[in-house]
Amino acid sequence: MEEQQFNVTYKVYQGRNELDREDQVLLEKASIAREGAYAPYSNFKVGAAAILENGEIVVGSNQENASFPSGLCAERVAVFQAGARFPGVPIISLAISAGSDTEPSNEPAAPCGNCRQSIYEYEHKQGKPIRVILQGSQGPVYLINAISDLLPLGFNSSQLNSQ
């Protein structure tokens, strides 16, 4: 038996103002998108903004539903919209801003498992990493170099083609 380990390296910034200008703008777009979230059940709003290789920025916000499985997370709204509106254009970075209406969130919230898998599919398809920028409604910012860092041993299409 051999034991192995996964390690994730990421950068932590004390706040948005430490980021380069492009990342600041992207995170601001995610924060604005968060305000448009429909979250009457959890009161936890999430906004996402993806910048594409062609310079377009596509946003999304979480959309809850009384039938809980029918809602959709902000990250998937943004990534699916990017894929639908700009097929074949790689996503460079995805910024995610998350927080409650009742209390400011000082901790970044990472994408859920479904979102990680969905973003990973796009990363695998485009053959380039998708940087992930995370922040709560305020406080520190985490910068992860690739979604695959957050989903080690991710499932992809190459496994479907094996015989």
- Residue 122: closest CA among 70, 48, 69: 48
The residue written with tokens 């690739």 in the block is 146
Choosing from 75, 107, 121, 123, the catalytic residue is 75
The yes-or-no answer on residue 75 being catalytic is yes
Helix axes 21-35, 74-85, angle to 10 degrees: 110
- Fill in the amino acid letter for 84: A
Please list the active-site residues.
75
